[in-house]
Structure 1
Amino acid sequence: MIYADHAATTKMSETAKLAMLSAIEENWYNPSSLYTPGQQASGVLMDARVRISRCLGCLPKEIYFTSGGSEADNQAILSAAAIGKRQGKMHIISTAFEHHAVLHTLKKLEKEGFEITLLDVGESGIVDPNQLEKAIRPDTALVTIMYANNEIGTIQPIGEIGAVCRQNGVLFHTDAVQAAGHLPINVKEDQIDMLSLSAHKFNGPKGIGVLYAKTGVFLTNLIEGGEQERGKRAGTENLPAIVGMAAALEEACALQKERSIYVTKLRDQLIAGLKKISGALLNGDEIRRLPGNVNFCFLDTEAEGLLLLLDNKGICASSGSACTSGFLDPSHVLLAIGRDPQTARGSLRLTLDYENTPEEVETIIEAVTDTVRILRGC
């Protein structure tokens, strides 16, 4: 089997597994307990918070543990909306190709009276900071723009976006679920006020994530109960998952540069090979994209047939986000960059990681070429 769907999830690293096992066997106590073993567990929790904060360039007290990226996105956006509402600001700016955790939350706020502006990302799939600046109004409460797109992999000019937001006194949140561990991130340098990430995208465990919130940003609770996470996220902390995430992120950040160089070469090899197929359309900017992301539309094909035939050949791929189901509706991301619905239905997302090899890439190229030929009946 060749696994080429790392944007959906990644295999847990041995480093993360060992860290989790240690927490399960030695630090299984409740971190909120006052007795010694509980306080030792509390120390392990704080250590994980510190290690993650170093990877993001922020303070430990600005790290809040969540169940994953979707929860973090929801809490960030709803918190900014609540702040804005108290100030009489009911306008939010985002893009049309955000993850549904963002778009569905914005839809909810729209029903509550907020006005939502979705910026155009153009054929390249990259936001223009000048367009953003023109869209900001005196009543803008929040800008929420993803760090890198989960389907086409395009990387946004986050530093420029952060600067525009800071100059205009607007909160800036970024969904960095696809970027964390794969791109260098520094929330202070990029003037990011809130950031979301999810551990299973960088070889950590599923069901655990982080919301970074800059000091001074008052968070709205999604879960009420105890005083965990400084009273902003009730529930006993999942310590094994948290330490596994910290270990995975620390390792990913330490090896990010060398892994990026290797995976980028694989990506470019795959793009070059698939470009040779007649009617192949690369989605998103060819250079300014995540190291392992390759997304094509193949004219006169359907994604469902592509994926099923590739699965028969032992290749795991996808047509887009793993958080959407079915193949009837074309990807909102591809529609946002200008693909027509019929073309968008022939999409294929292949996402590589450091465990893939050049030989596997060649096998994928041959398999996709053959599969497209079969589906076209030629």
Structure 2
Amino acid sequence: MTVASTSDTFASSSTGGRPTYLDFNATSPVDPRVADEVMRFMVQEFGNAGSRTHGYGQVAKERVNRARQEVAALVAAKPDEVVFTSGATESDNLAILGLAAHGEATGRRHIVSTQIEHKAVLEPLEVLAKQGFEITLLSPDQGGRISAEAVAAALRSDTLLVSVMAVNNETGVIQPIEEIADALVGHETFFHVDAAQAYGKLIQPLQHPRIDLLAVSGHKIGAPKGIGALIVRRRGYKRPPLTPLMYGGGQERGLRPGTLPVPLIAGLGTASALALDEADQRTASAAAIKEQLIEALRPLGAVLNGDPDRTVATTLNVSIPGVDSEAAIVALKDVVAVSNGSACTSQSYEPSHVLTAAGLPRELVEGALRFSWGPDTTDVPTELIAERLLRLLRR
């Protein structure tokens, strides 16, 4: 398959169009092939997957079942282990808060996580802390990576859950998920992975059978906003003992009630299938863009935030000493659309908790820019980006 270009939608400023979009970690444009599938199930095949008395419902149900297979295939899970949600934030909440009742019933009230998690993990953990759970948050090294040995050392007999993201949303640093999973073999604790930035980009690490709970987001891989999944893997014959956060129906094995959004689910299924089919091609294309950006910014004294040998090909977090990130974003606004951190906290900008936890100097933290792109990104104006940033240095 050939990935369609988004050049018509996000044209380079040099052509007089909109700025080149380089904020895929916040959200990605919907792949045209995915959009076609979504529209078909909005306009033509609009049945309710729960309607069993006619063909409209049957077509919808069959598409949902196929989407389960497509999502499951990307992470080597079983289709019946896929629970559709509104996105990774809901999935994270269901995984973490959904285990609370089991923790209280068994006396296992200790949780291990990290200081660099997304707010979708950190805030539910704060809720559990107020309920008497003990939370251990591990710090990363200066390269932004958590040590698998530190995770193993933090385990206790009463540890209910280990929650570690697969790829950091700000730095793109890949966390040692497979090593952590190996360390948990033989231990009762549940392993939750926020894979919002990894799903569809990293294949093998997310397929480790010791990952019990895996949060997925559709709008990071060319599917629409408002759809995601929680992979609830069985260990042996037992599912993680989750308690639902909402009630009102038996959908999604009782874990997530409500009428299934069939068009969005179809979109996530198609996006997942494309990500698996085109994985090698996408990685090679993304890596080429990353190298071009690094080469263009190197003469400016650019400092890469995050171990460059352990980051995904689709993300570059960089600081230019002497350049404030807010000023840089303004200077680049007609050239590229970029960010200086998580979109979930950008409305009231505060220095990155991720870079701060890694021990970076304040100047680098305040100057950090995050560039992120996808499989349909072309013609990144690297020279113009460098030229605009150089102007700021000369002021």
Interval of TM-score (by shorter of Structure 1 and Structure 2): over 0.9
Alignment of 1:76-155 (within 5 A): 76-155=95-174
* Equivalent residue, structure 2, for 1:285: 307
Work out the CA distance in 1 between the residues paired with 2:248 and 2:205: 32
Question: Corresponding residue for 2:376?
Answer: 355
Q: 2:100, 2:298 → 1: CA distance?
A: 43
Give the alignment partner of residue 245 of structure 2, picking from 218, 222, 231: 222
Pairing partner for 2:290 from 242, 267, 289: 267
- Which residues of 2 match residues 219-368 of structure 1 at below 5 A? 219-278=242-301, 280-311=302-333, 313-326=334-347, 328-357=349-378, 360-368=381-389
Asked whether the 8 Å contact 1:72–1:210 carries over to 2, the reply is: yes
Corresponding position of 2:35 = 17
Q: CA deviation at 1:327?
A: 5.6
Contact 2:22 2:373 (C-alpha < 8 Å) held by counterparts: yes
* Structure 2 residue matching 1:182: 3-state secondary structure: coil
1:304-357 deviation per Cα after TM superposition (whole angstroms, max 9, x unaligned)? 21111110x321000011111346420001101112334311111011223333
Percent identity, please.
37
Counterparts of 1:52 and 1:359, CA distance in 2: 30
Q: CA deviation digits over 1:33-65, x for unaligned, max 9?
A: 121221232122111111211121111110000
Distance 1:327 1:343 in 2: 19
Is 1:159–1:190's contact at 8 Å kept on the other side of the alignment?
Answer: no
1:8-37 residue CA offsets vs partner (Å, 9 max, x unmatched): 111111111111122112321111112122
Q: Tell me the distance in 2 between the aligned counterparts of 1:363 and 1:357.
A: 15
Q: In structure 2, the residue corresponding to 1:58 is in which secondary structure?
A: coil
1:29 is matched with which residue: 42, 47, 50?
47
Q: What's the TM-score, normalizing by structure 2? A: 0.90
Matched AA of 1:296: V
User: SS of the residue aligned with 1:72?
Assistant: helix
Structure 2: which 5+ runs fail to align?
A: 1-18
Secondary structure of 1:201's counterpart equals: coil
Partners of 2:163 and 2:194 within 8 A in 1: yes
* Separation of aligned partners in 1, 2:130 and 2:367: 33
CA contact (8 A) 2:335 2:384 kept: no
Of the structure 1 ranges 333-342 and 206-215, higher mean CA displacement relative to structure 2 is found in 333-342
Q: What is the letter of the counterpart of residue 111 of structure 1?
A: K
RMSD: 1.6
Helix, strand or coil at the partner of 1:40: helix
DSSP-derived class of the 1:212 partner:
strand
Contact 1:187 1:193 in 2 (8 A): no
Contact 1:82–1:220 under 8 Å retained in 2: yes
Match of residue 186 from structure 2: 167
Secondary structure of 1:167's counterpart equals coil
Measure, in 2, the Cα distance between the counterparts of 1:173 and 1:137.
17
Give distance in 2, aligned partners of 1:41 and 1:326. Answer: 38
Q: In structure 1, the residue corresponding to 2:174 is in which secondary structure?
A: coil
Query: Are the counterparts in 1 of residues 98 and 245 from structure 2 also a CA contact under 8 Å?
Result: no
Q: Structure 1: which 5+ residue stretches go unaligned?
A: none
Amino acid paired to 2:276:
C
Aligned residues: 372
Q: Return the letter of the residue paired with 2:310.
A: R
